[in-house]
């Protein structure tokens, strides 16, 4: 096939491109310039898309002996990924910019441009596996290396784009293997540190980045009773489940730590409370991307009873452990009942459903139903689950 290999300037994408060449594909390399400040140098493992990364990508392409181009996608990145990041936080939700980058940039803008130029597929250095069934249908699976698995952030791409994607590192057993292979191939990026955190927040200060774009908006931090226990400089800088950086002026009566339970953008208010108040028993999500719909899903637009639903593994964080649950489809939305509670689930997070290692669906969390402690449940059975305010659209 004619394959467009996305070279980030890191070790993973370089080895992935090398493996695509070894597989006999006609490979051309492209570096996506996503940052508007590419002249800013990297700070160790922080940041990406710098002039250093472009240079490392070029040198890798030279070693591999493939043509190399730079595509400036910074405007598209700003208008989709960064704009979504800001608007979601401003609305009291918690976005995942890596998911949106895969959705809008790597497997939309990049892939569409590649197909328009006559390429058959795009190759990236993501850690995930593609398994092809006998009928030609492609399934997205977790990588062999569970510690590096990126199927969670890739699930948003959907089956049609998966059909045009290559992930040559899916069967690698550890990142050390990738680095050793890079060194053996003479790739200078073999020892380059991995990037982490949010790529366009190079200093790692997300609240500071939000404040620079959204401005100062002082407000109150309250407990569940409504008592003011602190102040903040912008409710948008908080997320459900957050413990640190709350700036509380009054300790809890019992001396226990408090966490963000809700972000209320309309009132510019942050609600805090004890850890047990974060326990979630049901998750609601919409904008569902299906890889394999539940049997009879088309007839499951309405609730079908407390025992209904297909058993699934449920993951709500990129590096979180999946928990068992049951999914019901409701139009393009889903309701997922958890067999084990999750804590600190926020609206805006990506929800990915698995059958073993296979991705079944991806959706965006709109709200949750929280469990209450046994005493409250005994006192008032109607309080067994409490809808959170996190899913409210501002």
If we measure between CA atoms, which residue out of 99, 149, 93, 98 comes closest to residue 321?
149
- Evaluated on CA atoms 33, 39, 40, 44, the torsion sign reads positive
Q: Give me 175's structure tokens.
A: 């990142």
Q: Is 100 exposed, middle or buried (0-12, 13-18, 19+ CB in 10 A)?
A: buried
* Residue 49: active-site member: no
The continuous run of DSSP H or E covering 98 comes out as helix 97-101
- Evaluated on CA atoms 35, 36, 39, 40, the torsion sign reads negative
| Measured distance CA(30)–CA(68) in Å, rounded | 6
If we measure between CA atoms, which residue out of 313, 97, 45 comes closest to residue 203?
45
Of 48, 98, 101, 123, the catalytic one is: 101
The beta-strand segments (E) located in 256-357 are 259-264, 269-273, 279-290, 310-315, 323-330, 333-343, 350-355
Q: How far apart are the first and last CA of the chain?
A: 46
Phi, psi torsion values for 37, nearest 5 degrees: -125, 60
Q: Give me 26's structure tokens.
A: 């006609």
| Measured distance CA(185)–CA(15) in Å, rounded | 9
Active site (catalytic) residues? 101, 199
């Amino acid at each position: 096939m004619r394959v467009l290999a996305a070279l980030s300037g890191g070790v993973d994408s370089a080895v992935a491109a090398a493996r695509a060449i070894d597989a006999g594909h006609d490979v051309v390399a492209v570096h996506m310039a996503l940052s508007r400040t590419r002249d800013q140098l990297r700070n160790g493992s922080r940041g990406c898309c710098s002039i250093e990364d472009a240079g490392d990508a070029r040198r890798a392409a030279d070693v591999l002996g493939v043509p190399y181009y730079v595509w400036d996608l910074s405007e598209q990145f700003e208008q989709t990924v960064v704009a979504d990041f800001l608007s979601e936080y401003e609305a009291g939700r918690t976005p995942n910019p890596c998911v949106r980058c895969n959705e809008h940039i790597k497997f939309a803008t990049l892939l569409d441009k590649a197909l328009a130029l006559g390429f058959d597929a795009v190759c990236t250095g993501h850690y995930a596996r593609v398994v092809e069934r006998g009928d030609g249908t492609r399934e997205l699976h977790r990588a062999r290396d569970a510690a590096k698995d990126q199927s969670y952030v890739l699930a948003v791409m959907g089956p049609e784009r998966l059909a045009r994607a290559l992930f040559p590192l899916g069967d690698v057993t550890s990142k050390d293997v990738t680095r050793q292979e890079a060194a053996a191939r003479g790739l200078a990026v073999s020892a380059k540190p991995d990037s982490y955190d949010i790529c366009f927040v190079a200093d790692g200060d997300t609240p500071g980045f939000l404040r620079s774009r959204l401005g100062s908006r002082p407000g109150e931090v309250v407990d569940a009773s409504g008592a003011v226990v602190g102040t903040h400089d912008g409710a948008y800088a908080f997320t459900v489940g957050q413990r640190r950086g709350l700036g509380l002026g009054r300790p809890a009566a019992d001396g226990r730590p408090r966490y963000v339970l809700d972000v209320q953008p309309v009132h510019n208010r942050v609600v805090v409370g004890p850890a047990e108040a974060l326990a979630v028993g049901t998750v609601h999500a919409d904008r569902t991307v299906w890889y394999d719909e539940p049997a009879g899903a088309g007839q499951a637009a309405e609730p079908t009873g407390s025992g209904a639903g297909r058993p699934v593994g449920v993951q709500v964080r990129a590096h979180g452990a999946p928990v068992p649950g049951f999914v019901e489809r409701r139009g393009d939305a889903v309701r997922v009942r958890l067999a084990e509670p999750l804590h600190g689930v926020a609206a805006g997070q990506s929800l990915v459903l698995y059958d073993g290692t296979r991705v079944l669906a991806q959706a965006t969390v709109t709200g949750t139903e929280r469990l209450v402690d046994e005493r409250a449940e005994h006192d008032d059975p109607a309080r067994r689950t409490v809808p959170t305010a996190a899913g409210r659209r501002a």
